């Protein structure tokens, strides 16, 4: 087995390329995931978007509770900046997106849309680099994002939640394409990501009717990954982010990227399988050999995750 893998690495030219793979993204301290109400309040300045670093995890909060965290142009720009900064920072592994004040996001600020008489600057060249009216919702991040959903995640807010890899949803939360009522289209990835996530039939049910979807139905659909008691979405999302951040990151990102490629970009099964192989093979030298050695010494036996970090 080892000899075969070694030959493959040499024959495919991976021995040279693996030296260019950086392990800096795996370094970072663990963080305390529990956030008290008092501590949460202390992190909320006057900006429409606030961010806070917790070890290798970045918290990004939408801070327009007076508008149910509806996104205006300023907020869209700030969200894009924060998520772009996270994606480019090698010392950060996972981001958590949440809304302040009991609502995740009620979509784009329709009051601002009405005031502009439909003349918002959403040019084609703006959307081509991953930005859109909701800010970063058309982006494809290179690292995991978790959405902590409380209250409403509707219209463009649903599209922001769909940007995340995982969604932790509180029991009383409502999701849905509420913009259906006002003739506002989904142009931030909703018609692209939702069918891939929950299937075309269920996606069309939501897209065509605009009906509200409660947390338990969202869990059944696969729209929610976890359903938690009210008030606990952010804490659970942080705990989940901590778990994901503790794993060997090159391997995690290679598998994540392959899954996205297979879902959205691959032209065939064969092409998807080749992409998985080509991008997974360098990780064997970079991380898997070290991990296998740790396992042989007793780490992770019995399915334990407590000593999985390399």
pLDDT of 28 reads: 32
How far apart (Å, rounded) are the C-alpha atoms in residues 51 and 61?
6
Same domain, 121 and 254: no
The pLDDT tens digits of the residues spanning 234-283 come to 999 999 999 999 999 999 999 999 999 999 999 999 999 999 999 988 88
Within 8 A by CB and 6+ apart from 200, the residues are: none
Same domain, 210 and 270: no
- pTM, two decimals, is 0.79
Comparing 285 with 147, the larger pLDDT belongs to: 147
- Could you list the residue range(s) of the whole structural domain that residue 112 is in? 31-246
The pLDDT tens digits of the residues spanning 126-179 come to 455 567 889 998 999 999 999 999 999 999 999 999 999 999 999 999 999 999
Same domain, 64 and 107: yes
pLDDT of 112 reads: 81
Rounded to 10 degrees, the C-alpha dihedral 238/227/62/203 comes to 130
Same domain, 104 and 62: yes
Same domain, 147 and 255: no
The pLDDT tens digits of the residues spanning 101-130 come to 999 999 999 888 777 655 555 444 445 556
| 267 lies in some domain | yes
Chain centre distance of CA 23: 21
**CATH number (domain holding residue 156):** 3.90.226.10
Same domain, 240 and 252: no
Same domain, 208 and 118: yes
| 307 lies in some domain | no
Same domain, 84 and 104: yes
Same domain, 192 and 262: no
Structure tokens at 169: 């949803």
Domain end call among 213, 229, 246: 246
| 123 lies in some domain | yes
Same domain, 232 and 280: no
| 305 lies in some domain | no
Domain end call among 222, 246, 270: 246
pLDDT of 2 reads: 37
| 46 lies in some domain | yes
| 6 lies in some domain | yes
The pLDDT tens digits of the residues spanning 182-218 come to 898 999 999 999 999 999 999 999 999 999 999 999 9
Total number of domains in the chain:
2
pLDDT of 205 reads: 97
Same domain, 142 and 78: yes
| 15 lies in some domain | yes
| 189 lies in some domain | yes
Within 8 A by CB and 6+ apart from 102, the residues are: 65, 150, 151
The pLDDT tens digits of the residues spanning 61-104 come to 999 999 999 999 999 999 999 999 999 999 999 999 999 999 99
Q: Which helix (H) or strand (E) holds 231?
A: none
How far apart (Å, rounded) are the C-alpha atoms in residues 221 and 28?
35
Q: Which helix (H) or strand (E) holds 259?
A: helix 249-260
- Classify residue 306 as exposed, middle or buried by CB count within 10 Å of its CB (0-12, 13-18, 19+): exposed
Going by pLDDT thresholds of 50, 70 and 90, the confidence category of residue 34 is very low
Same domain, 9 and 150: no
> What's the mean per-residue pLDDT of the chain?
81
């Amino acid at each position: 087995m080892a000899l075969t893998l070694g030959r493959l690495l040499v024959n495919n030219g991976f021995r040279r390329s693996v030296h260019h793979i950086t392990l800096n993204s795996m370094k970072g301290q663990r963080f305390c995931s529990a956030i008290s109400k008092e501590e949460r309040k202390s992190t909320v300045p006057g900006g429409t978007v606030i961010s806070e670093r917790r070890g290798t995890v970045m918290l990004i909060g939408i801070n327009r509770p007076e508008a149910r965290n509806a996104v205006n142009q300023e907020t869209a720009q700030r969200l894009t900046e924060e998520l772009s900064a996270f994606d480019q920072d090698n010392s950060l592994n996972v981001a958590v997106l949440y809304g302040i004040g009991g609502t995740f996001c009620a979509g784009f600020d329709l009051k601002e849309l009405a005031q502009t008489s439909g003349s918002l600057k959403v040019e084609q060249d703006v959307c081509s680099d991953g930005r859109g009216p909701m800010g970063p919702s058309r982006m494809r991040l290179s690292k995991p994002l978790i959405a902590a959903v409380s209250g409403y995640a509707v219209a463009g807010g649903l599209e922001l939640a769909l940007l995340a890899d995982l969604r932790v949803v509180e029991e009383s939360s409502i999701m849905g394409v509420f913009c259906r009522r006002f003739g506002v289209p989904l142009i931030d990835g909703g018609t692209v990501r939702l069918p891939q996530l929950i299937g075309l039939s269920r996606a069309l049910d939501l897209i065509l009717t605009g009906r509200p979807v409660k947390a338990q139905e969202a869990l059944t659909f696969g729209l929610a990954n976890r359903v938690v008691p009210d008030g606990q979405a952010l804490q659970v999302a942080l705990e989940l982010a901590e778990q994901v951040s503790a794993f060997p990151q090159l391997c995690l990102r290679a598998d994540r990227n392959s899954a996205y490629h297979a879902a959205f970009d691959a032209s065939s099964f064969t092409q998807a399988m080749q992409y998985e192989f080509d991008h997974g093979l360098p990780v064997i030298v970079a991380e898997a050999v070290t991990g296998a050695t740790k396992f042989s010494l007793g780490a992770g036996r019995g399915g334990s995750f407590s000593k999985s970090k390399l």
